[in-house]
């Protein structure tokens, strides 16, 4: 069956044009100024997109769904998280696999992939966190890359004794990544410094969520970027810095890039629209806004938005990590170090960036598409199948009303978390229709009752 989207403004990373889009099966078959529906089969569905934007399906390159953390597990499953993603216009996710230090990489991959195959309504792929690097782990990493299961690793320069990777393993891991053509995504802080700062603050009786940011200040993040880029420069590895929260970290990455290091930068929606005062709210409510790296001073927003505008920040993800305020975040009532980290935002990301970026004039619509879709597809080996509206590409399409107005409300969220991190904030723009590989999964802003399964996207190493 075919589907025609008429009279809309098609927006890609390189510009926007008034074009009609014909979808046949799972792919885009025609892209022309005018496609006459009378020339098409009688059963062709026609969607009138007059006054609307037609975007490529959005890609979230940084998602946590199955996430063991701080003795609990994230509250979403793949069904709830990906319904929320579709409602927000995201058709493809890259989930972080976060095994424990003793878990074998192959077993961890099997667990995460099995859960996604069972419940995901988005197309999906994975970054595999490397928290051990012994002979067995290296062998299994090689096998997973060769089989097309994994094309990107994840490392943590944080979370001492749990997820952090020591320098003695970081160097050979980056050498392996360079050999295999795999990009390494990295959480850049300093595990030792953060651990020492946290211990000192707790000993001083500074236990509330407002002390989370002082325990891992901007200098720790910025030097973490330097540390990673030094190793990347020495090994020739390609690296990608996740959830960059401050201008100092961005500047260090830009300096490394200018010196020849192959480095890309990601920011995430919470760091672009919230500031650290949210984590300082009284009566422990600030725990809702604890994430790492932390929310920063509002002055950092200008540096980050400027980075998105000049495309030195390549992508905008979410770091979606959904934990309930009651029953999970409140495990840290006596110590901020026990608050599960994360601000759920998989459903809100696209509208947040449109509202605070496009509608304020900080970025234009092609840059919006580039940061929220196209660059993730390019960097992580899915382009041009994903991330662009083009003939032959997957029919992942979002019809978007750029003028719709409303507010963010927990009542509208499809995530299972018991709060919305953006409650009451203004929203300008709304998803109307979403196609995932040609199937309509959102109609009139509502996820269809049975959106069907997403597909695993096998990615070949591209670096």
pLDDT tens by residue, 235-256: 999 999 999 999 999 999 999 9
Strand pairing class (439-443; 426-436): antiparallel
Q: Is 141 helix (H, G, I), strand (E, B) or coil?
A: helix
Quote the CA–CA distance of 7 and 18 in Å, as a whole number: 7
pLDDT tens by residue, 412-436: 999 999 999 999 999 999 999 999 9
Strand partners, 433: 399
pLDDT tens by residue, 297-346: 999 999 999 999 999 999 999 999 999 999 999 999 999 999 999 999 99
Whether residue 133 has pLDDT greater than 80: yes
Residue ranges of domains in the chain: 57-379
Buried b (16+ CB within 10 A) or exposed e, 390-408: beebbbbbbbbbbeeeeeb
Q: Is 341 helix (H, G, I), strand (E, B) or coil?
A: coil
Residue 56 token pair: 């490529």
Residue 237 token pair: 């590895």
Contacts of residue 261, defined as CB under 8 A and 6 or more positions apart, other chains included, come to 229, 232, 233, 239
Structure confidence at residue 164 (pLDDT):
85
Contacts of residue 104, defined as CB under 8 A and 6 or more positions apart, other chains included, come to 136, 137, 140
Predicted TM-score (pTM) of this structure: 0.98
pLDDT tens by residue, 252-268: 999 999 999 999 999 99
Of 1.10.10.10, 3.60.70.12, 3.20.20.140, 3.90.600.10, the CATH number of 57-379 is: 3.20.20.140
> Which residue, among 46, 41, 27, has the nearest Cα to 399 in the 3D structure?
46
Averaged over 173-198, what is the pLDDT? 96
């Amino acid at each position: 069956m075919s589907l025609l989207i008429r009279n809309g403004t098609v927006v890609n990373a390189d510009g926007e044009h008034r074009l009609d889009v014909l979808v046949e099966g799972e792919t885009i078959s025609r892209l022309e100024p005018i496609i006459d529906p009378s020339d098409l089969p009688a059963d062709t569905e026609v969607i009138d997109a007059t006054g609307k934007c037609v975007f490529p399906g959005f890609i979230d390159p940084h998602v946590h769904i199955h996430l063991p953390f701080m003795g609990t597990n994230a509250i979403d499953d793949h069904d709830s998280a990906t319904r929320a993603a579709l409602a927000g216009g995201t058709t493809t996710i890259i989930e972080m696999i976060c095994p424990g230090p003793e878990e074998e990489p192959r077993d961890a991959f099997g667990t995460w992939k099995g859960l996604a195959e069972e419940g995901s309504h988005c197309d999906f792929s994975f970054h595999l966190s490397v928290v051990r690097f012994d002979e067995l782990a290296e062998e299994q990493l090689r096998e997973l890359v060769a089989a097309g299961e994994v094309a990107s690793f994840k490392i943590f320069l944080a979370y001492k004794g749990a997820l952090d990777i020591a320098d003695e393993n970081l160097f050979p891991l980056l050498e392996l990544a360079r050999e295999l053509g795999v990009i390494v995504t990295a959480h850049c802080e300093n595990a030792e410094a953060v651990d020492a700062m946290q211990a000192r603050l707790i000993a001083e009786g500074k236990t509330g969520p407002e002390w989370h940011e002082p325990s891992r200040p901007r200098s720790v993040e910025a030097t973490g970027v330097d540390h990673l880029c030094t190793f990347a420069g020495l090994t020739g590895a390609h690296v990608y810095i996740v959830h960059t929260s401050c201008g100092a970290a961005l500047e260090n990455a830009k300096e490394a890039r200018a010196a020849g290091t192959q480095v890309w930068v990601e920011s995430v929606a919470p760091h672009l629209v919230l500031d650290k005062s949210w984590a300082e709210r009284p009566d422990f409510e600030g725990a809702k806004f604890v994430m790492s790296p932390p929310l920063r001073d509002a002055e950092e927003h200008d540096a980050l938005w400027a980075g998105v505008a000049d495309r030195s920040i390549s992508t905008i993800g979410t770091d979606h990590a959904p934990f309930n305020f009651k029953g999970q975040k409140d495990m840290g009532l006596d110590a901020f170090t026990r608050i599960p980290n994360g601000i759920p935002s998989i459903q809100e990301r696209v509208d947040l960036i449109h509202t605070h970026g496009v509608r304020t004039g900080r970025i234009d619509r092609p840059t919006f598409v580039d940061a929220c879709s196209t660059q993730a597809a390019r960097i992580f080996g899915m382009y041009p199948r994903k991330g662009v509206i083009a003939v032959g590409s997957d029919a992942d399409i979002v019809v978007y009303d750029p003028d719709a107005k409303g507010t963010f409300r927990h009542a509208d969220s499809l995530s299972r978390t018991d709060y919305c991190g953006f409650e009451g904030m203004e929203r300008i723009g709304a998803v109307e229709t979403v196609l995932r590989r040609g199937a309509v999964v959102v109609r009139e802003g509502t996820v269809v009752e049975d959106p069907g399964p997403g597909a695993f996207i096998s990615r070949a190493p591209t670096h």
